[in-house]
Amino acid sequence: MTAVRKFWPILTGIHRYEKTLSTRGRGVGEIIEAPILAYLIETSQGRILYDVGCDYAKIVDPVQRAHWYESDEFPFGPPQMTEEQRLPNRLEKLGLRPQDVDLVFCGHLHFDHGGGLSEMAHAEIHVHQRELDAAREPADGAYFASDFAGDYNWCPQCAEYALAPGVEAIETPGHTAGHMSMLIELPTGAPILLAGDAADLTENLVDEVPPGLCWRDREDLARASIRKLKRLAEEMGAELWPNHDMAFFLARNRFPDFFD
Ligand SMILES: [Zn+2]
């Protein structure tokens, strides 16, 4: 039986960029607006947060902003993020404090997924060991070293596992070395399978298009993960959610209300 009680997708910012970053080899010159999301899962055993969005300071502080986002590596500049979209303020809308989150699960550690860790420093931080290693390398320019340099309570994982009954970590490498997706079994209704950045857009899933950025250019790994997610969704009767698809998100956004 699932321990899940409530589930919220939470908008933490918006990034405008060329579509090729989401769909490898497709969308040159086409600018899209992508939601940057975190997901809160309330269970009978505590609260879990999947991803923590961007580091607000790197976006609003001019010096940090110039250092992290205004380089050749970032031709599209920083995401837009308002004070209201910071996770502590989002949680406050739900009557919660950051301390009410027990466990943070980072699907991967790119700047728009692990950037907000400093606001959640009290929690256990779960991430795949291969992801932590790749981030520290760093394996690509979307890892911002200071996001994960703090003295956090890391709980590195080496395999698929259940975070709680009804909340399962699914290995989906390809976009990054140790990327993980998450299967959430709600108390009622179909389970939700969060692809994370294994699939940014519905198009990635339908056409089995790898993300623009693939770890060591391993398109094969990324495509295998997309197929794995589709297979699992089919087996479980789950709804498979892409992670940076604005239309898909807006059709499901009910914050501060929730799924149950
Ligand atoms: Zn990413």
How many A from CA of 44 to the centre of ligand 1?
30
Give this prediction's pTM.
0.97
- 258 pLDDT more than 80: yes
Residue 140, in any domain of the structure: yes
- The CA R_g of the chain, rounded to the nearest whole Å, is 17
Residue 256, in any domain of the structure: no
How many A from CA of 140 to the centre of ligand 1?
10
Binning pLDDT at 50, 70 and 90, where does residue 75 land?
confident
Residue 62, in any domain of the structure: yes
How many A from CA of 191 to the centre of ligand 1?
24
Q: Which pLDDT belongs to residue 190?
A: 96
What is the CATH number for 167? Answer: 3.60.15.10
How many A from CA of 110 to the centre of ligand 1?
5
Share of the chain above pLDDT 90, in %: 97
Q: Which pLDDT belongs to residue 232?
A: 98
Q: Which pLDDT belongs to residue 76?
A: 86
Q: Which pLDDT belongs to residue 41?
A: 98
pLDDT digits 0-9 by tens, 151-166: 999 999 999 999 999 9
Q: How far is CA 167 from the centre of its chain?
A: 15
How many A from CA of 121 to the centre of ligand 1?
21
How many A from CA of 155 to the centre of ligand 1?
20
Please spell the DSSP secondary structure of 56-92, one letter per residue: HHHHHSHHHHHHHHSSTT-TT-PPB--GGGSHHHHHH
How many A from CA of 233 to the centre of ligand 1?
22
How many A from CA of 170 to the centre of ligand 1?
16
Residue 255, in any domain of the structure: no
Residue 160, in any domain of the structure: yes
How many A from CA of 199 to the centre of ligand 1?
10
Q: Which pLDDT belongs to residue 238?
A: 98
pLDDT digits 0-9 by tens, 174-202: 999 999 999 999 999 999 999 999 999 99
User: How many separate domains does the chain show?
Assistant: 1
CB 212 within 8 A of CB 24: yes
How many A from CA of 188 to the centre of ligand 1?
31
Q: Which pLDDT belongs to residue 71?
A: 82
Average pLDDT for 23-33:
97
How many A from CA of 163 to the centre of ligand 1?
22
Average pLDDT for 21-34:
97
How many A from CA of 168 to the centre of ligand 1?
20
More confident residue, 217 or 74: 217
Q: Which pLDDT belongs to residue 109?
A: 98
How many A from CA of 1 to the centre of ligand 1?
32
pLDDT digits 0-9 by tens, 228-242: 999 999 999 999 999
Round to the nearest angstrom and report the end-to-end CA distance of the chain: 14
Binning pLDDT at 50, 70 and 90, where does residue 73 land?
confident
Q: Which pLDDT belongs to residue 74?
A: 80
Alpha helices per DSSP H over the chain? 56-60, 62-69, 87-93, 111-114, 129-136, 202-206, 219-236, 246-250
Domain region containing 204? 4-250
Residue 192, in any domain of the structure: yes
How many A from CA of 57 to the centre of ligand 1?
19
pLDDT digits 0-9 by tens, 90-115: 999 999 999 999 999 999 999 999 99
Residue 239, in any domain of the structure: yes
Q: Which pLDDT belongs to residue 230?
A: 98
Residue 22, in any domain of the structure: yes
